[in-house]
């Protein structure tokens, strides 16, 4: 099993590890701004506390100078009665949009990325089902070009290993029918933990919401993102158990490419299944020390970001 990611990742004001603020939908509603007239029942996102508020009355632009999160705490009853808290804005925002924003365009779609540090692995995620072929040319002054290619055949994510290059340029071309696209491109140095034990289990977490509507006596469903969950067990020599455990711990809350294909030829010699590659975070880790066999096992649960 291998894993790798690209740095730096940054934490936004809500503590989430994200590649960039513009790649994350915090709320489905317009952000509140001072001096804008508000109509009764309008909902605004307050970026001061990350929550959504509903207007209970019409608010003129001249009166709308106190942000909702402060208005509801006002000792002035008239001001406090202007807004009502709806809920924490997009409590599942990490899964809704952080991964599922694609670069799309007519086939062939071409784009480039450049790295500043060393990389020996490349992965492309959230590949559109219309993509039939991916080709990559890695260039570095003074070194031979590296050519990579893959036919996704419906796979969400593809991954390559290649000769290490530092500060290289990756030129990617997506071809297919009609509009094609892909999400994150992740380049970095991969680390191998050890052979994965069959079988690998696959689950799905659905973040859609079900709310009870008291007025109509029915449930209201809101479609949200979903993610794949992969569970597997990795065998590690006991002398490397602490190291492997530490390596996994360092990836907590940081989106990482996890490849549960066996790269050492023990569990599935000569095979590589794209379904065993997931872009996500480790949500459960259990380590067992088998003293007699001189083997440690790491049981991992990897929760992917939104994939479709």
Q: Which of 16-20, 40-44, 161-165, 266-270 has the highest mean pLDDT?
A: 40-44
Specify the CATH number for 102-191; select among 2.70.98.40, 3.40.50.720, 2.60.120.1190, 1.10.3720.10. 2.60.120.1190
pLDDT in tens, 56-80: 999 999 999 999 999 999 999 999 9
CA angle 113, 164, 122 (to 5 degrees): 45
Measured CA to CA, the distance from residue 15 to residue 90 in angstroms comes to: 14
pLDDT band at 111; cut points 50, 70, 90: confident
pLDDT at 167 over 50: yes
Of 274, 283, 267, nearest to 307 (Cα)? 274
In the chain, CATH 2.60.120.1190 covers: 102-191
Confidence check: pLDDT of 40 > 90: yes
Check residue 3 and give its pLDDT. 56
DSSP state of 34: T
Separation of alpha carbons 297 and 193, rounded Å: 10
- The answer to whether the beta carbons of residues 118 and 164 sit under 8 Å apart is yes
Q: What is the pLDDT of residue 38?
A: 94
Question: Is this model's pTM higher than 0.85 or not?
Answer: no
pLDDT at 92 over 60: no
Q: For 198-236, what is each residue's pLDDT tens digit?
A: 778 888 887 777 778 777 788 877 776 677 888 888 888
174: left (phi over 0), alpha (psi -120 to 50) or beta: beta
Q: How confident is the model at residue 277 (pLDDT cuts 50, 70, 90)?
A: confident
**Lowest pLDDT segment from 16-20, 57-61, 83-87, 193-197:** 16-20
The 8-class DSSP code of residue 38 comes to B
Structural fold of domain 196-306: Elongation Factor Tu (Ef-tu); domain 3 (2.40.30)
Higher pLDDT, 77 or 278: 77
Quick one: which of 179, 203, 26 has its CA closest to 104?
A: 179
Dihedral class, residue 247 (left if φ above 0, else alpha if ψ from -120 to 50, else beta): alpha
Query: What mean pLDDT value characterizes the chain?
Result: 77
Q: Please tell me the least confidently modeled range out of 25-29, 109-113, 210-214.
A: 25-29
Look at residues 20, 175, 159 and name the one whose alpha carbon lies nearest to residue 101. Answer: 20
Does the N-terminal peptide bond of residue 161 adopt cis geometry, omega within 30 degrees of 0?
A: no
Q: Sorting pLDDT into bands at 50, 70 and 90, what band is 9? A: very low
Q: Give the length of the chain.
A: 308
**Alpha-carbon torsion (95, 97, 98, 100), positive or negative:** positive
């Amino acid at each position: 099993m291998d894993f790798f990611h690209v740095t730096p990742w940054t934490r936004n004001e809500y503590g989430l590890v994200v590649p960039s603020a513009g790649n994350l939908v915090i709320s489905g509603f317009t952000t509140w701004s001072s001096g804008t007239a508000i109509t009764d029942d309008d909902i605004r996102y307050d970026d001061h506390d990350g929550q959504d508020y509903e207007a209970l009355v019409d608010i003129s632009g001249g009166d709308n100078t106190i942000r909702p999160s402060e208005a509801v705490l006002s000792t002035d009853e008239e001001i406090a009665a202007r807004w009502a808290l709806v809920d924490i804005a997009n409590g599942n925002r990490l899964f809704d949009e952080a991964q599922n924003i694609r670069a799309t365009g007519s086939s062939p779609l071409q784009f480039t990325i450049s790295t500043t540090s060393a990389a020996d692995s490349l992965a492309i995620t959230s590949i559109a089902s219309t993509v039939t072929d991916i080709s990559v040319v890695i260039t570095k002054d003074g070194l031979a070009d590296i050519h990579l290619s893959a036919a996704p055949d419906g796979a969400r994510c593809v991954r390559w290993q290649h000769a290490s290059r530092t500060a290289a340029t990756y030129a990617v071309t997506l071809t297919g029918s009609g509009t094609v696209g892909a999400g994150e491109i992740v380049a970095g140095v991969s680390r191998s933990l050890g052979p994965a034990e069959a079988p690998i289990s696959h689950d799905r977490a659905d973040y859609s919401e079900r709310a009870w509507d008291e007025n109509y006596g029915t449930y209201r469903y809101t479609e949200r993102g979903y993610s794949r969950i992969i569970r597997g067990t990795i065998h590690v020599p006991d002398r490397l158990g602490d190291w492997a455990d530490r390596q996994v711990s360092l990836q907590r809350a940081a989106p990482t490419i996890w490849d549960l294909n066996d790269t050492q030829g023990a569990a599935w010699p000569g095979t590589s299944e794209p379904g065993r590659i997931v872009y996500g975070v480790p949500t459960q880790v259990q380590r067992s020390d088998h003293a007699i066999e001189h083997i440690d096992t790491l049981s991992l649960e990897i929760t992917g970001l939104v994939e479709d």
